[in-house]
Amino acid sequence: MKVFPPEKIRNVALVGHNGAGKTTLAEALLYRAGAIGRLGRVEDGNTVFDYDPEEHKRSMSLSLAMAPFEWNSHKINLIDTPGYADFVGDVRAALRVTDLAVFVVSAVDGVEVQTDNVWRMAEDLGVPRMIFINKLDKERASFDRTLEALRSRFGAGIAPIELPIGEEASFHGVADLFSDTAYLYDSGSGQPAELPEEMEGRIQRVHDNLVEGIVVADDDLLERYLEGDVPSVQELEKTMAIGVADATVFPVVCGSATGPIAVDRLANYIVEIGPPPTVRGGVEVEAGGELVEVEPSPGGDPLAFVFKTLADPYVGQISLFKVLSGTVKSEMTLHNTRSGSDERLAKIAYMVGKETELIGEVPAGDIGAVSKLNNTSTGDTLAPKGKPVRVPGIAQPAPVLAVAISAATQADEDKLANALRRLQDEDPALRVERNDETKQTLLRGAGETHLTIAIEKLQRKFGVEVARHQVRVAYRETITRPADAEGKYKKQTGGRGQFGVAMVRVEPNERGAGFEFMDEIKGGSIPRQFIPAVERGIRETMADGGVHGYPVVDVIVHCVDGKYHSVDSSEMSFKMAGRIGFKAAMDSAGPIMLEPISRIEVTVPADYQGDVMGDLSSRRGQVQGTTAAAGGRQTILAIVPTSEILTYAIDLRSISQGWGTFVAEHDHYAELPPHLVERVAKADEDDD
C-alpha cells in the first residue's frame, strides 16, 4: 500500500454493543474495497479481525484489531473494537487514535448498554461520531424504532442521511437524502434508481428537516436557503462535515453487513464527511512541564504514540502506534520519554488483522506497527532524543473483579512473573498485585470473562499454567478490654540455657491507631538491652495472627515487669517471653475479629435504583444516600462489608441488565458480627 498524506487518511473505529455486527461490517468494508476476496464469518472463525483462538471459541471480538484499505483515492484505517463490557479498555485505546467513531447499532435490538457507555466515552474525548443502523434485513428489524431510540438517548444531533428501502426480508436498498436518489442492491452492487413513489412524501419531509438542520450551521448558506436557493449536494456535505468534525452532528446511515447492502455507501460517507487528522487539529502533549499542541504535519519532528501492544508467540511484542507529527521511517531510532530508552524501529509495517505489511515510512496522521521494542509499553511516547515530549497515557477503567492465582508447578512459578508482565503490556486494563496480609497474588480485571481469558492467554501464549483460588478477605483481630499476663520462657538442655520473663498488660487502642509499645520497666527487672527483643516478639506474634489466625491491630502493650538470669538470659529468650505473654494476655482481653468495610458508589438507570438498594441492604450494606447522575441515572452511595462484594461486578450486571457500573474503595474496619466468625474461619480452612 502506498503512502498517503494526512488529508487523505481517515482513522475510523467501529464501536458498539456485542453482537451488533461490527466485525461483519469490517469484513464487508474490506470486501467491497477489494482488499479481501471473500466475506469471512464470525461464527466460522475465518475473519480478518477475529484471529485469536479465544475469539474463535467465543465467536466475539476480545481485543481491537485493524486493517487499512483504499477507497476513492483515500486510505481508511479501520479499527474493529470489542463490544463486550469487559474489554472496554481496548475501545478507549481505539478512541484515542481515531478521528471518527462509527457506532454500529442493530435494527433488531436497538440502543444497547455498551452503545450508551461508549457514546459517553466518545463524548468525553470529543471524538466525532456517526451511526450505521445494521441488520435491517433481519426479522423484527425496524429503522424507525431504532432511530427514535437514538434520538431519545443521544439528543437532537442525530441526523439521518439515508432511509431504508424495504424492511426485514424485503430490505434491498437505501434512499440517499442528499441527492434524492435510490440505490438498489438486488444484483449485489448498488445501482442508482428513481425513488419509490410510496416513499416520496416521507423522503421529502426527512430531506427538508435534514437540509434545515444543516444550513443553520452556516450563515451564508442559511441566508441563501431562506431566499429559496437550495444548496447543492456538495455544499450540504461540506457543511455537515464541519458539524461532524465538531462532534455536534451525528449522521445516521443504514444497511446490512451480511448483505452486504449499502456498505459501500458507508465507505463513501467516511471519506466525504469523516474528518481527516488535519481537520481535528493538533494533539496536546507535555513538554517541559507545560501542555503544547503538536500539529499533524509530515514535515515536523517525528512523534509517535503507542496505543496497543500485542504479544505474538512467534514475532514477539508488536507495538501499534499513531504518528502525531513528522514521518516515522524504518531503521529510525526514537527515544521513549517514559522509560528513557532509545528504541530502533527496524521494520515498520501496517497491521492487516494478524498479518503485517512492511512499509518504508508512516507519515503524520497514519497508523503503523513495529516489533521488538524492548522497553516500550502501551501509552508510551516515542520522540527524537533530547526532546522530552510526552503524550498523556490512556486512562484505563478501574478493575472491579479479582481472582487469586498461583503457579501450578515450580517450573510455572519461575515463569509466572515475566508472563504476567507481558500480559499487562498487552492488556493494561489488567492489574496484578501481591496482598501480603492474605499472602495471595491477585489478578484484577473488568469481569469474569476478562479474567478467564487472561488466564487462558497465560497458558496459550506464555506457556504458564496457573491455579485459581477464592480471594481471601484481609480480616484482622483486636481486643476489647485490658488484660495482664506473664510470658515465661525457660529452656535447659545442658550448658547455657534460655531464661526470660516478661509481665505485660494489654489494652485496646483507638480503631486505626495501630500498635504502641510502652516500656514501663523499673529497677532493672529486665536489662535495657533486652527490652527491644520483648517488643519484637510481640510484633511478630501480632503479625502471625491472634486467636483466629488473623493479624492483630490497634493494641497498646505495657511491659511492666520481668525477670532475668545473668547467664541464661538473651535476646532470644526475651523475644519468646514477649510472644508467650502477649498470646496469654490476648486470650483474656476479649478478642474480636474486624472486617474491612468498603465505600461503594453504584450508578444505574433510575429504573434499577430500588433493586440495587435492596440488594446492598441484603449484603449488610448501609445506604448513605443517592445523587443524580448524567443521562437520567442515579448514583447510590453505601458502605458495605468487603466480603459481600467480592463478586459484585457479576451480580450488578445481572441485577441491572448490564447498565450498572460501580467503584469501590476501602473505607475502614469494623467488628465482624459474632455469628459470622465461625463461618469465616471455616471458609478459610476449606480454602486451605
d(CA 649, CA 447) in angstroms, rounded, equals 6
For the residues 298-326, what does the mean pLDDT come to? 91
| C-alpha 437: how far from chain center | 27
Domain presence at residue 652: yes
The verdict on 579 and 604 lying in the same domain is no
Statement: residue 685 has pLDDT above 70: no
Pick from 13-22, 219-228, 439-448: least confident: 219-228
pLDDT-above-90 percentage for the chain? 77
> Which of 390, 415, 441 is at the close of a domain?
390
The verdict on 342 and 414 lying in the same domain is no
Domain presence at residue 396: no
Domain presence at residue 448: yes
d(CA 412, CA 260) in angstroms, rounded, equals 48
CA distances from 567 to 149, 500, 570, 573, 578 (A): 88, 11, 8, 12, 19
Number of domains in the chain: 5
CATH number for the domain harbouring residue 619: 3.30.70.240
pLDDT in tens, 365-414: 999 999 999 899 999 999 999 888 899 989 888 899 999 999 999 999 98
The per-residue pLDDT for 37 is 87
Contact 549, 513 (CB under 8 A): no
pLDDT in tens, 102-137: 999 999 999 999 999 999 999 999 999 999 999 999
Which three cell numbers, joined as nine digits, stand for 651? 451480580
Contact 31, 39 (CB under 8 A): yes
pLDDT in tens, 240-269: 999 999 999 999 999 999 999 999 999 999
Q: Which residues of 522-551 are buried (b: 16+ CB within 10 A; e: fewer)?
A: eeeebeeebbebbbbbbbebbeeebbbebb
Strand, coil or helix: what is 137?
coil
The per-residue pLDDT for 688 is 55
Domain presence at residue 1: no
Instruction: Kindly report the average pLDDT of the chain as a whole number.
Output: 93
Domain presence at residue 395: no
Statement: residue 219 has pLDDT above 90: no
d(CA 450, CA 470) in angstroms, rounded, equals 16
The verdict on 245 and 340 lying in the same domain is no
CATH number for the domain harbouring residue 440: 3.30.70.870
Statement: residue 212 has pLDDT above 60: yes
The verdict on 28 and 86 lying in the same domain is yes
Task: State the pairing for strand pair 9-15/74-80.
Answer: parallel
The per-residue pLDDT for 42 is 85
Which domain, by its residues, includes 452?
A: 401-469
CATH number for the domain harbouring residue 370: 2.40.30.10
The per-residue pLDDT for 686 is 59
> Which of 249, 277, 305 is at the close of a domain?
277
CATH number for the domain harbouring residue 534: 3.30.230.10
Find the DSSP H helices in 134-258: 143-154, 200-215, 219-226, 233-245
Task: State the pairing for strand pair 633-641/622-629.
Answer: antiparallel
The verdict on 617 and 652 lying in the same domain is yes
**Please, which residues bridge with residue 665 across strands?**
599
DSSP labels, 230-297: PPPHHHHHHHHHHHHHTTS-EEEEE-BTTTTBSHHHHHHHHHHHSPPHHHH--EEEEETTEEEEE---
Contact 424, 441 (CB under 8 A): no
pLDDT in tens, 171-206: 999 999 988 899 999 887 889 999 998 898 899 889
Contact 557, 506 (CB under 8 A): yes
Statement: residue 207 has pLDDT above 90: no
| C-alpha 411: how far from chain center | 31
Please report the beta strands in 61-184, taking only residues with DSSP state E, as ranges in sequence order: 65-71, 74-80, 100-106, 129-134, 158-160, 162-165, 173-176, 181-184
Strand, coil or helix: what is 439?
coil
The per-residue pLDDT for 374 is 86
Highest mean pLDDT among 282-286, 310-314, 464-468: 464-468
pLDDT-above-70 percentage for the chain? 99
> Which of 356, 390, 424 is at the close of a domain?
390
The dihedral over CA atoms of 294, 297, 303, 306, expressed in degrees to the nearest 10, equals 90
Statement: residue 485 has pLDDT above 90: yes
Contact 383, 325 (CB under 8 A): no
Statement: residue 598 has pLDDT above 70: yes
Contact 495, 541 (CB under 8 A): no
The per-residue pLDDT for 226 is 84
The verdict on 528 and 663 lying in the same domain is no
The per-residue pLDDT for 683 is 67
The verdict on 328 and 309 lying in the same domain is yes
Statement: residue 225 has pLDDT above 90: no
For the residues 542-559, what does the mean pLDDT come to? 94
Domain presence at residue 654: yes
Strand, coil or helix: what is 371?
strand
pLDDT in tens, 486-523: 999 998 776 778 999 999 999 999 999 999 999 999 98
The per-residue pLDDT for 215 is 84
The per-residue pLDDT for 170 is 95
For the residues 600-628, what does the mean pLDDT come to? 96
The per-residue pLDDT for 684 is 65
The verdict on 295 and 350 lying in the same domain is yes
The verdict on 385 and 416 lying in the same domain is no
Instruction: For residue 260, say if its preceding peptide bond is cis, omega within 30 degrees of 0.
Output: yes
For the residues 321-332, what does the mean pLDDT come to? 95
The verdict on 349 and 455 lying in the same domain is no
Whole-model pTM: value is 0.89
Q: What is the DSSP letter of 110?
A: B
> How confident is residue 304, by pLDDT bands cut at 50, 70 and 90?
very high
The verdict on 318 and 445 lying in the same domain is no
The verdict on 344 and 415 lying in the same domain is no
